[in-house]
Structure 1
Amino acid sequence: MELRQLEYFVRVARLQHVTKAAEELHVAQSAVSRQIHRLEEELGIRLFMQRGRNVQLTPVGQLFLRRAEAVLGDLDRAVMEIHEFLDPEVGEIRLGFPHSLGIHVVPQVVAEFRKLHPNVKFRFRQGMYPSLIRDIVDAEVDIAFISPYPEKSDQVTGEVVLTEELFAILPETHKLALKDSIMLSELKEDTFVLFSSGYSLRPIVWDACREAGFTPKIGFEGEEAGTIRGLVAAGMGVSLLPKMAMYETSSMMPAVVKISEPHVTRTIGIIRRTGEKMPLVVQMFHSFLLEFFKNQYQEQ
């Protein structure tokens, strides 16, 4: 079995078309077909079925695709690690993060890191909590910010770098908008604007309300901190957001009020795959992050 056969197979599987795969690979269609045929003969199975002008993976072909992609991915990482070993200053970091950290934190830390290491490249991947865990486990990213930090996991490891307080956000016309602080239970009759299911802040707010003795009445849902802020500012309800979600300003901003009881927080952590040595450039970035958060984002 040759590496070229795996490369051709993966490209055809992704495009579901031999001619298009050949065009991307800059080889003749007959060469791609010949290598796929040899691979099938060696394995003793059919990898593809014909579907009109396209091809479709057989069930066993789908199984083989996952393994072939893993092999090619490992080879790519091996080559990258060799280059980074020779010069980590020209390496690449694949960084995952939730949407809520993309407004301020990620741009800030990357900008500061690149002041010290200007030739390091970044590849970014945003996602919700479950997808960030999956991206780490599947080696789609090298390191990821996550919130809340997963306390128990055999597949990922890391550190909590920040514990951040959540504040109540209210329409400026709300009767409690001018208070210095409130108890969360004072909002039990209000309609809440929450993040959609799958976003980590939603269960944090939900659990805080339950701790305060009520179940929040959900009027609207959103997928971005800016959407939540805008809906609240427009009088559609109330919500809870962390301070770093308030950095961005617009003409529609809600009132921000401290919550005295219960004390609502979220943890922000950095995770990586358990038992796997990080490439040198990622180690360099990881050490930078720990020092950066220690100096810049210590909880007051």
Structure 2
Amino acid sequence: METETLRWFQLVADGVTVTEVSQIEGISQPAVSRALSRLELEVGTPLLRREGRVLRLTHAGAAFKQHVDAVLHHLDDGIAAVQQILDPERGTVTIAFQPSFGSWLVPDLVSSFHAEHPHVRLDLRTTADETVPDVGPRSDVDFELSTLRPPQGPDHPRWRVLAVEPLRLLVGPGHHLIGTDTVALTQVADEPFVMIKATSLLRRQSEQLCAEAQFEPNVAFVADDLPTLRGYVAAGLGVAIAPALWGGSMAAPVVGPHVLALTDRGATREVGFSWAPRRRMLPAAELFREHVLARARAGRLPRPV
């Protein structure tokens, strides 16, 4: 089967007329029709049926179309991969990241990388469930920025620590601890807490810190994201544990919460960079990995406030 014939079949199946295909491809309409007829002979059954002036898929054609789409998709990916090998400066890199990194780490890495490689496209995706890695041998994600350290082993994602981010206690206006340099979680053990949603690693770590302080937090409100968590604290609905880079940012959209340093052991989180070990990395992705690791080694990532 000829690739161009499969593409013509795909176009017609998607609603493009034979006349339009001939105009797009710059060939005669009869040539397109003959090619589609030869394709049906090769498959062994009609794939298209005419309804007035429009061609519709038969049941066999609909089944065949799914596989044609997959084949052409893989073929286009292969062509793109070759083009990336020939020109790594024009590839695409897919990066998943925890939402809390979207305000400081991701913008820094993207802007600094684009300054050196302006034609590489970065496909940025926020992680839906932080407790499950997005990178893997069968995933289309090249890299992940996460606080989830994967298990050790040849089949698990490779992991590099980029930064260690302090966790702070956020308290609302008028809270009795305002003005204190450092606090321990035991000092707010009896107070209502605002927690992030259960699919966040920050939720897991916050609960663990409270458990190590030998109390179970009274979760009064649950926030879907850090801006909402800050808003709840600013409204005096409870205290919260949050990363320092967000909790102390002057650019944070919500004013009101006060940021207090925690003395509790383990009140930090590792910011990591991971990738699948057995997935072939294209040159554009190699460029991004080297950029991120070099920036971390040089101490050029944003620092906690």
Equivalence map 1:11-30=2 (5 Å): 22=16
1:191 maps to amino acid: P
**Equivalent in the alignment of 2:300:** 296
**Equivalent in the alignment of 2:217:** 216
Structure 1: gaps (5+ residues): 13-17, 45-53
User: Is contact 2:131–2:200 with CA below 8 Å preserved after alignment?
Assistant: no
Q: Do the aligned partners of residues 42 and 194 (structure 1) sit closer, same or farther apart at CA in structure 2, a change above 3 Å counting?
A: farther
**Equivalent in the alignment of 1:51:** none
**Equivalent in the alignment of 1:280:** 283
> For residues 233 and 197 of structure 2, what CA distance do their matches in structure 1 show?
15
User: Is contact 1:84–1:279 with CA below 8 Å preserved after alignment?
Assistant: yes
**Equivalent in the alignment of 1:118:** 118
User: Is contact 1:128–1:200 with CA below 8 Å preserved after alignment?
Assistant: no
Residue 206 of structure 1 deviates from its aligned partner by 0.7
1:141 maps to amino acid: V
Residue 110 of structure 1 deviates from its aligned partner by 0.5
User: Is contact 2:131–2:199 with CA below 8 Å preserved after alignment?
Assistant: no
Q: Do the aligned partners of residues 10 and 169 (structure 1) sit closer, same or farther apart at CA in structure 2, a change above 3 Å counting?
A: farther
2:205 maps to amino acid: I
> For residues 69 and 174 of structure 2, what CA distance do their matches in structure 1 show?
56
> For residues 144 and 169 of structure 2, what CA distance do their matches in structure 1 show?
27
User: Is contact 1:234–1:252 with CA below 8 Å preserved after alignment?
Assistant: no
**Equivalent in the alignment of 1:181:** 182
**Equivalent in the alignment of 1:127:** 127
- More helix by proportion, 1 or 2? 1
Residue 207 of structure 1 deviates from its aligned partner by 0.7
**Equivalent in the alignment of 1:262:** 265
2:140 maps to amino acid: E
RMSD of aligned alpha carbons:
3.9
**Secondary structure, aligned partner of 1:296:** coil
Per-residue Cα deviation, 1:103-139 (whole angstroms, up to 9, x for no partner): 1110111101111111111111111345862454443
TM-score norm. by structure 1 comes to 0.76
> For residues 127 and 282 of structure 1, what CA distance do their matches in structure 2 show?
19
> For residues 165 and 226 of structure 2, what CA distance do their matches in structure 1 show?
15
Residue 252 of structure 1 deviates from its aligned partner by 2.1
> For residues 146 and 105 of structure 1, what CA distance do their matches in structure 2 show?
11
Structure label with greater radius of gyration: 2
User: Is contact 2:109–2:292 with CA below 8 Å preserved after alignment?
Assistant: yes
1:233 maps to amino acid: A
> For structure 1, which segment, 290-299 or 250-259, has the greater mean C-alpha deviation from structure 2 after superposition?
290-299
2:112 maps to amino acid: E
Q: Do the aligned partners of residues 82 and 211 (structure 1) sit closer, same or farther apart at CA in structure 2, a change above 3 Å counting?
A: same
> For residues 136 and 226 of structure 1, what CA distance do their matches in structure 2 show?
30
Equivalence map 1:1-300=2 (5 Å): 22=16, 74-130=74-130, 133-134=133-134, 136-152=136-152, 154-246=155-247, 247=249, 248-250=251-253, 252-294=255-297, 295-297=299-301
Residue 260 of structure 1 deviates from its aligned partner by 0.5
Residue 159 of structure 1 deviates from its aligned partner by 1.6
> For structure 1, which segment, 117-126 or 70-79, has the greater mean C-alpha deviation from structure 2 after superposition?
70-79
Identity %: 25
**Secondary structure, aligned partner of 1:140:** coil
> For structure 1, which segment, 263-272 or 166-175, has the greater mean C-alpha deviation from structure 2 after superposition?
263-272
> For residues 294 and 82 of structure 2, what CA distance do their matches in structure 1 show?
27
Structure 2: gaps (5+ residues): 23-31, 46-55
Residue 216 of structure 1 deviates from its aligned partner by 1.0
Residue 262 of structure 1 deviates from its aligned partner by 2.7
User: Is contact 1:137–1:155 with CA below 8 Å preserved after alignment?
Assistant: no
**Equivalent in the alignment of 2:51:** none
**Equivalent in the alignment of 2:29:** none
> For structure 1, which segment, 187-196 or 288-297, has the greater mean C-alpha deviation from structure 2 after superposition?
288-297
Residue 274 of structure 1 deviates from its aligned partner by 2.1
> For residues 68 and 239 of structure 1, what CA distance do their matches in structure 2 show?
52
Q: Do the aligned partners of residues 79 and 181 (structure 1) sit closer, same or farther apart at CA in structure 2, a change above 3 Å counting?
A: same
